[in-house]
Amino acid sequence: MDFRDLKLKLPTASQSFANLRSNGKIYVDKTDFVQKIAGTRKPKILTRPRRFGKSTLLSTIEELFLHGVKPYDGHDSYFKGLAIEKLWHDDGQYLVLHLDFHELNSDSDTVAEFEQSLMETVDDFCQVNKITIPEKSSFRKRLKALLEQLPNRSLVLLIDEFDAPLLYHCDQEQELRACKLLMRGLFSTVKRNAEKFRCVFFTGITRFQDLDLGTAGNNFTDISYDEEFATCCGYTHDELKQYFAQHLRYAAALSNGCAMEAVSDAQVESLLKDMSEWYDGYSFDGTEQHEVFSTWSVLRFFANAKATLRPYWVTEEGSGVPQLLKISLDRIELEPLMAKISKGEVLVGGQEFLKSSLINPNANPYSLLFQAGYLTFKDPYDASDNVHLTCPNQEIIWGFTNLLVRHFFNLEVDLCTNTSSRKALAALSSLDAEQIRAFFNYAIEFLPYTHNPNNEFWAADLIILLLFGLGYKPRVEVMSLHGRADCVFDVPWLHTTIVLEFKFESSPDPKQLDAKLAEALQQIKDRKYALNGTSEPRVARFGLVYCSDPSERQFVRMALADQIEL
């Protein structure tokens, strides 16, 4: 099997369950979750980041209620061979109203235009199904009139990305008010006509507190963080091995420079380990056994002819929630954030997690980053306990770093790139002060000094962020009798921990710069930085001097204080 045949099997062009099955595309069987969602009449809501498979899940439910699990129209059921084929015993005939709010909102500049699209969709649905409703002036009235014509338990209502208009208008007070009224009408109509529905299922990105639904939405069950549904979107490790076995073997052949038939199981497992570091780690209940891969990243990786491990989901094409990211970053301050960066994680916690809000400026911004997909649960989720969030994988760390750098440092370029990764590898592997200094100066080359008068201090933060983004897991030592170093990070392949002590000097006078460097080196030796607690057998400790004079504005001095074998 060649690359073109393998690529054709990837479900990248369509999110429709029926299209995937009819065209022989890979469909990762999630129908056991479909059974749990569709098997009861209780309205449910599920939130996940973009590109995690919500639309395919919704489409699967649509096909189930339209045609069931038995053959129809002269062909086999699309559920043949899937888990639900033996689980589903409902042979009822249902009408399915499937609304994609993201698509309907995409051509609308106002809530009124969005509502007009909704009304036209309902009108088309009624016409196709030969249902006559009187002319109505609003979406809510149309929906209510439709429901009045239907017998009980006859309609399935599926709404994809229910929060799309809310996200689009979240910074426009008047439109936001109109959006709330529209959505409140939708939820209250569903609640008041509960007997008409066989199934109600909404998906989205954000939680729905901002809609101010009051009691209108209290009959919905939010299954977003339930252990039972933790892996309903995304790919598990076992699913990757089961459904993408040939793709894994092909990618392993490329990375090992051999034919597919020559690839060993050990080489496949090695590739899976590397893929896990880049794309796995999303947990929606906080347990490791329920971690999933980003579906978008996995599919783009396999669709890449060179099978290159690099960011895919964090590109604009993949994540695409700019409003959510902007609101989150606008509420975060740099220094408190830097204090949260440690050992390759952005570890945050808070009991106010469930009170996240797009609108309330004092609400938890890290919860919004969780909903956007840039953070995930670190520990088992418990609504009554402190919630701990962290970055799930290297792709997100890379992308998150670039977001932070662009936002806080006003840079026009991405700091984490393949080029910077190669330069870091060469410089750090040398353990040579001049090579490392040159790399650091390369990293701060584009710092816009008109942006903030304290950029000399930001230079150190920028270096720490870069090390974080490239996977070196920088940390600040816990304060002790010996003080703490400015930055400590491990270089595992050198079996070395590197310590950096930053000093800043406003004068370009060589004597003053030399004196600052000497001060840094002596401080390192006196305070015994990183000589306790490191897991590496060797510690290399460096002093750096940054000159903020306009004629310099770079690291002008760096020297090795000592190398110590522990």
Condensed to tens digits (0 to 9), the pLDDT of residues 56-89 reads 999 999 999 999 999 999 899 999 999 999 999 9
User: Which residues, at least 6 apart from 388, have a Cβ–Cβ distance to it below 8 Å?
Assistant: 286, 347, 348, 349, 377, 378, 379
**Helix ranges restricted to H, 414-501:** 418-430, 433-443, 455-469
User: For residues 375, 377, 382 and 384, what is the CA-based torsion angle, rounded to 10 degrees?
Assistant: -30
Measured CA distances, 303 to 104, 140, 234, 312, 532 (Å): 29, 43, 17, 11, 46
Condensed to tens digits (0 to 9), the pLDDT of residues 331-362 reads 998 888 888 887 778 878 777 777 788 888 88
Nearest to 16 by CA among 83, 86, 98: 98
**Helix ranges restricted to H, 334-454:** 334-340, 365-372, 394-409, 418-430, 433-443
pLDDT value at position 320? 62
Q: Which residues of 312-326 are buried (b: 16+ CB within 10 A; e: fewer)?
A: bbbeeebbbbebbbe
Helix (H, G, I), strand (E, B) or coil at 206: coil
- Domain 3-229: top CATH class: alpha beta
- Could you give the CA distance from residue 326 to residue 341 in angstroms, rounded to a whole number? 20
- Could you give the CA distance from residue 253 to residue 260 in angstroms, rounded to a whole number? 5
Q: Which residues of 103-139 are buried (b: 16+ CB within 10 A; e: fewer)?
A: ebbeebebbeebbebbbebbbebbeeeeeebeebeeb
**Helix ranges restricted to H, 49-205:** 54-67, 101-106, 111-128, 139-148, 164-168, 173-192
CB 272 within 8 A of CB 240: yes
pLDDT value at position 451? 52
Listed as ranges, residues in the chain with pLDDT below 50 are: 453, 479-481
pLDDT value at position 479? 47
pLDDT value at position 467? 95
Alpha-carbon dihedral sign for residues 134, 138, 139, 141: negative
Side-chain-facing half-sphere of 119: CA atoms under 13 Å: 17
User: Which residues, at least 6 apart from 269, have a Cβ–Cβ distance to it below 8 Å?
Assistant: none
pLDDT value at position 452? 53
Residue extents of the structural domains in the chain: 3-229, 237-303, 413-566
Q: What is the rounded radius of gyration, in angstroms, for the C-alpha atoms of the chain?
A: 27
Structure tokens at 429: 């592997």
- Could you give the CA distance from residue 336 to residue 239 in angstroms, rounded to a whole number? 39
Helix (H, G, I), strand (E, B) or coil at 13: coil
- Could you give the CA distance from residue 381 to residue 370 in angstroms, rounded to a whole number? 13
Give 476's DSSP letter: P
pTM of the model: 0.92
For tokens 């840039």, what's the residue? 374
